[in-house]
Amino acid sequence: MMSTPTLTKDPNTLAAPAPSPATKRRGIKPRSWAPNTGAARFRSGARRAGRGIWGSGAIILFLLLWELGPIYLAPASTRVFLPPLHVVLQALARLVENGQLQNHLAASLTRSASGFGIAVVAAVALGLLVAWYRSLDQFLNPLLEVFRNTAALALLPVFTLLLGIGEISKISIVAYAAFFPVLLNTIAGVRTVDPLLIRAARSLGLSNFQLFQKVILPSAVPTIFTGIRMAGTSSILVLIAAEMVGAKAGLGYLIVNSQMSFLIPDMYAGILTVSLLGLLVNYLLVAVERHFSRWRTAVGSQAA
Amino acid sequence: MTSGTGPPPKISLENITKKFTVRPTKENPEGSVLTALDGISLDMSAGEFITLVGPSGSGKTTLLDLLAGLTKPDTGRVLVDGREVTGPGRDRAVVFQQYALFPWRTAAANVSFGLEGTGSDGKRYSRKERAEKAREYLDLVGLGGFEDRYPHELSGGMKQRVAIARSLAYEPDVLLMDEPFAALDAQTREQLQTELLRIWATTGKTIIFITHGIDEAVYLGQRVAVLSSRPGRLKQIVDIDVGDRSGDEDVRSNAAFVEHRHKVWSLLHDEVRRAQEAGHAKIQPDGSAPDEARNVSTGKAA
Ligand SMILES: Nc1ncnc2c1ncn2[C@@H]1O[C@H](COP(=O)(O)OP(=O)(O)O)[C@@H](O)[C@H]1O
Ligand SMILES: [Mg+2]
């Protein structure tokens, strides 16, 4: 369904205008080449269309398999646990209609946004400090290494024990998971500032603070946003898991609760929502990251 | 060196020595002290254009850093207008070989970089004044209309023009240039040399220009200071008189130019040989060298 525009657009636009004006205007002599260019254009257009089909082919095949597999391939007993796509979409529509999906989505979004927001602010601040003060780095680094290499989900029971199963516990684990990518990227971003730029700024008489504000921070921004994008992905991941363990609302809860209530299509509707949400969040964060990294294109060639 | 009765010197180097501690390596576990500059004394008058040549590693960049106030000498003093240099200041500007433009800023924003905030002289510019100055100085370097371009959208020569405009924009008296044209192709380099002379003539700056190109040194400088190979000592200062360089004729082929060029070449030649014997294999016989350590040039040097 996503592929239809690319599929239909390309062959039409290339086939219609390309050969007619080009061939006519060329007149008699270069006849041999006019069809050639037309053909070439057709070929390149066809190639592009082909790439479009090929690029969405796997998805289409997967959806087809999901739709047809349970009906024609699977035994009836399995069909109950793996309903075809249209049944899941119907369940999704029903959940949207009675407002349940929106409620769960809102609960999840609130939690992940709060945790993510807290993490970004805290990690950027700490990262800047750690990168700026070498002694702080030497002091904190071993501990940070330990925490960073401890999977957030491994600590889920600890968060639950200490903070209960309420909102605070979930926001905390999201914040924890989102914290480290941002922290490490902030540190790396500050560390990798071109020393020549620092010399240039110093030669212009900038104070330490101005140097930080006008050179180090702007040059670290793209790297920081890479960390933020990674954090966005992992905050959703961890939240869903946390909601599966103990919650009264949220997409993770919807999935697990539907499973336990034997509302299998609802369960798949929840999963589908999670993956669409993940795609959307990633797409947005990639766009933001690209926006802040515009000047980086071809920075490497700057030295030449 | 030019002691006498004239006006007081703009810049005065008094017996400068600069040493670096070399970090311990495998071959040399003790670490050691490297003398980069040894007993440099030099006076420059206001509005003078002096070029500084020397083999790679002879301490040219080190000397420039001292003048810029980025580092301090171990002995001796650097005086500008009779006052000792204690740090960077808006009376001096540095132009680097690798342009050192801020890639997230447009050309205009790069040029106005040095105008932001309150300067060491207490001057403050409004946003509008800064934009005006940026335009003015981009015009001066021939880049009018390129205000909104980002560095990655500019060629090497254009980037160096922006860097020069940035240095000029806050109106320093002294321009310190560290092999600014070494990474450019020959044609662009010649073009920028001519432009620099024009800018020098219109603005009356005092310019110290480091190069390892003998032609460049003789073409640009009123005097050429030749540094010896490590430790850097001032070997000789050659007064240059090649006539009017602003005209259309090819100064580089007139007899005076060739003679001066040869003189500097001979002075440098001995030093380059000595430097090579001391292990600087990368230096070319003509005195140019793909610079080591801090300046990673593209090898297109003169
Ligand atoms: N910060 C530093 N620490 C140690 N040695 C240095 C440092 N800066 C320069 N040097 C050494 O001092 C010498 C002169 O360097 P430099 O001024 O860069 O030479 P040039 O610019 O003439 O090629 C070189 O041998 C270089 O290795
Ligand atoms: Mg150098």
Instruction: Please tell me the distance from the alpha carbon of residue B183 to that of residue B177, in angstroms, as a whole number.
Output: 13
CA B236 to chain centroid, in Å, comes to 18
Does residue B102 surpass a pLDDT of 90?
yes
User: Which of B62, B86, B98, B297 to substitute to test the interface with A, most A CBs within 10 Å?
Assistant: B98
Q: In degrees to the nearest 10, what's the CA dihedral of B266, B268, B271, B276?
A: -100
Strand partners, B43: B12
Domain membership flag for residue A21: no
Nearest CA to ligand 1 atom 26: B57
**What pLDDT does residue B25 have?**
76
pLDDT band of B101, cuts 50, 70, 90? very high
As a whole number, mean pLDDT of residues B147-152 equals 90
What's the rounded mean pLDDT across residues A262-266?
90
pLDDT for B72 beyond 90: yes
Task: Say whether both A115 and A71 belong to one domain.
Answer: no
pLDDT at B299: 37
A59/A128 same-domain check: no
**Residue B290 confidence (pLDDT) above 70:** no
Q: Which residues of B touch A214 (CB under 8 A)?
A: 113, 116
Q: Calculate how close chain A gets to B182, using CA atoms only, in Å.
A: 11
- What pLDDT, in 10s, does the model give residues B199-235? 899 989 999 999 988 889 988 989 999 998 878 888 8
- A210 contacts B298? CB cut-off 8 A: no
What pLDDT shows up at residue A23?
A: 38
Share of chain B above pLDDT 70, in %: 85
Distance, CA B46 to ligand 2 centroid (Å)? 24
The answer to whether the CB atoms of B87 and A205 lie below 8 A apart is yes
Quick check: A258 pLDDT over 80? yes
Q: Using CA atoms, how far apart are residues B268 and B284, in angstroms rounded to an integer?
A: 11
The closest CB to that of A297, out of B98, B119, B152, belongs to: B152
Of A210, A296, A304, the CB nearest to B117: A210
> Which of A25-29, A138-142, A146-150, A233-237 bottoms out in mean pLDDT, i.e. has the lowest?
A25-29
Q: Which of A197, A215, A299 sits opposite B152 (nearest CB)?
A: A299
B87 touches chain A (CB under 8 A): yes
SS3 B96: coil
Residue B45 pLDDT: 92
* CB-CB under 8 Å, B116 with A304: no
What CATH number has the domain bearing residue A198? 1.10.3720.10
Kindly give the number of the ligand 1 atom that is closest to the alpha carbon of B65. 17
The verdict on residue A16 lying in a domain is no
A145 within a domain of the structure (yes/no)? yes
What is the rounded average pLDDT of the residues A172-179?
Answer: 92
> What distance in Å separates the CA atoms of residue B254 and residue A154, rounded to the nearest whole number?
80
B250 Cβ neighbours under 8 A, 6+ residues apart: none
> How would DSSP label each residue in B108-152?
HHHHTGGGSS--TT-----HHHHHHHHHHHHHHTT-TT-TT--GG
- Whether residues A51 and A110 share a domain: the answer is no
Choose the final residue of a domain: A28, A58, A82. Answer: A82
Burial of B112 from C-beta contacts in 10 A (0-12 / 13-18 / 19+):
buried
Q: Is the same domain home to A145 and A270?
A: yes
Q: Nearest CB to B88: which of A203, A295, A303?
A: A203
Interface residue A208 vs chain B (CB under 8 A): no
Which ligand is nearest to the Cα of residue B31, counting in written order?
Answer: 1
Q: Phi and psi dihedrals of B123, rounded to 5?
A: -80, 145
State how far residue B76 is from chain A, nearest Cα, in angstroms: 21
Domain membership flag for residue A202: yes
pTM of the model: 0.74
State if residue B57 touches ligand 1 by the CB under 6 angstroms criterion.
Answer: yes
Contact B87 A304 (CB under 8 A): no
Q: Which of A192, A197, A202, A204 to mutate to test the interface with B (most CBs of B within 10 A)?
A: A204
Residue A7 lies in a domain: no
The distance of A280 to chain B (nearest Cα, Å) reads 28
**In chain A, which residue's Cα lies nearest the Cα of B156?**
A304
Examine residue B231 and say whether the peptide bond preceding it is cis (omega within 30 degrees of 0).
yes
Indicate whether A282 and A136 sit together in one domain: yes
| Pair A110, A217 in one domain | yes
B108 CA distance to ligand 2 middle (Å): 28
Ligand 1 near B56 CB (within 6 A) = yes
Q: Is the CB of B79 under 6 A from ligand 1?
A: no
Write the residue in B92, B96, B119 that is nearest to A196 by C-beta: B96
The one-letter code for the residue type at B56 is S
Domain range for residue A73? 47-82
What Cα–Cα distance (Å) separates residue A243 from each residue in A22, A153, A250, A265, B180? 62, 12, 6, 19, 60
Rounded CA gap, A172 and A242, in Å? 10
Domain count, chain A: 2
Residues A105 and A74 reside in one and the same domain: no
A193 and A70 in a single domain? The answer is no
Both A122 and A212 in a single domain? yes
Inspect the interface and report whether the beta carbons of A202 and B103 lie closer than 8 Å.
Answer: no
Q: How much helix, strand and coil, in percent to the nearest 5, is found in chain A?
A: 85, 0, 15
| Closest residue, chain A, to B111 (C-alpha) | A204
Is the domain of A63 the same as that of A173?
A: no
The verdict on A109 and A203 lying in the same domain is yes
Q: How many residues does chain A have?
A: 304
Out of A82, A103, A126, pick the residue that ends a domain.
Answer: A82
In a domain, A36, yes or no: no
Confidence band of B246 (pLDDT split at 50, 70, 90): low
* Gap from B225 CA to chain A (nearest CA, Å): 23
Q: Is residue A248 part of a domain?
A: yes
Asked whether residue A19 is assigned to any structural domain, the reply reads: no
Greater confidence (B117 vs B15) lies with B15
Q: Cβ(B62) to ligand 1 under 6 A?
A: yes
Please answer yes or no on whether B102 and A202 come within 8 Å at the CB atom: no
Output A3 or B102, whichever has higher pLDDT: B102
C-beta atoms of A205 and B296 within 8 A: no
- Classify strands B32-44 and B11-22 as parallel, antiparallel or unpaired: antiparallel
Please tell me if residue B89 touches chain A, with a CB cutoff of 8 Å. yes
Are both A153 and A276 inside the same structural domain?
Answer: yes
**pLDDT tens digits, one per residue of A113-167:** 999 999 999 999 999 999 888 888 889 888 888 888 888 888 888 888 888 878 8
Is pLDDT above 90 for A19? no
How far is ligand 1, taken at its centre, from the CA of residue B37, in Å? 9
Which of B157-171, B207-221, B262-276 bottoms out in mean pLDDT, i.e. has the lowest? B262-276
Last residue in a domain, options A35, A65, A82:
A82
